[in-house]
């Protein structure tokens, strides 16, 4: 880590990219600064272990793939069209990847246990800082880190991270 940055190369998911002549999907990568997230900040300073950090990143990845974040812009999707016979309109087109990610996210949160989901969601998924999360939950200062590490250990057990 230099100048406050913790840089890492990450491969992008290329599930929808066309296959090359050799049958392989092209790989693309981006450089990300892991210290930009509150969890990355904690990891860069040695306040969470690599196992806990990986568990948090898996949880956040499932949260993003399930598209659980609130929309902040207009949805330009076409409105559902009802059938001619007065039947129900078509439902929202949800991919299998999104459904699986939602299931994994819900199971990981349930595995963490009640009372731990709030701090997990606020710090890992929503990106709130520890101080803001503790204040919002009405907790004393520095209590959030302890609770977050317990929650991350349970999520790591769920994802079978060693």
Which residue ranges of the chain lie beneath pLDDT 70? 1-4, 6, 12-26, 32, 34-35, 75, 77-94
Q: Which secondary-structure segment (H or E) carries 7?
A: strand 7-11
Taking only the tens place, the pLDDT of each residue in 108-153 is: 999 999 889 999 999 999 999 999 999 999 999 889 999 999 999 9
pLDDT of residue 149: 96
What global pTM score does this model have? 0.70
pLDDT of residue 75: 66
pLDDT of residue 18: 47
Q: Are 52 and 145 in contact (CB under 8 A)?
A: no
pLDDT of residue 73: 75
Contacts of 29 (CB under 8 A, 6+ apart): 9, 10, 11, 12
CA distance 53 to 58: 9
What's the token pair of residue 57? 């990143």
Q: Which residues on adjacent β-strands are paired with residue 2?
A: 5
């Amino acid at each position: 880590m230099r100048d406050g940055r913790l840089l890492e190369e990450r491969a992008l998911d290329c599930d929808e990219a066309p296959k090359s002549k050799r049958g392989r999907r092209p790989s693309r990568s981006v450089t990300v600064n892991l210290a930009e997230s509150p969890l990355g900040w904690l990891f860069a300073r040695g306040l969470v272990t690599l196992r806990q950090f990986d568990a948090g990143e898996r949880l956040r990845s499932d949260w993003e793939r399930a598209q659980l974040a609130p929309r902040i812009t207009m949805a330009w999707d076409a409105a559902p069209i009802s059938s001619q016979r007065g039947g129900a309109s078509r439902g929202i087109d949800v991919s299998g990847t999104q459904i699986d990610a939602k299931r994994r996210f819900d199971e990981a949160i349930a595995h963490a246990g009640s009372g731990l989901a709030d701090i997990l969601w606020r710090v890992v998924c929503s990106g709130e800082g520890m101080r803001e999360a503790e204040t919002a939950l009405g907790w004393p200062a520095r209590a959030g880190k302890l609770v977050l590490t317990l929650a991350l250990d349970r999520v790591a057990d769920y994802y079978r991270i060693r």
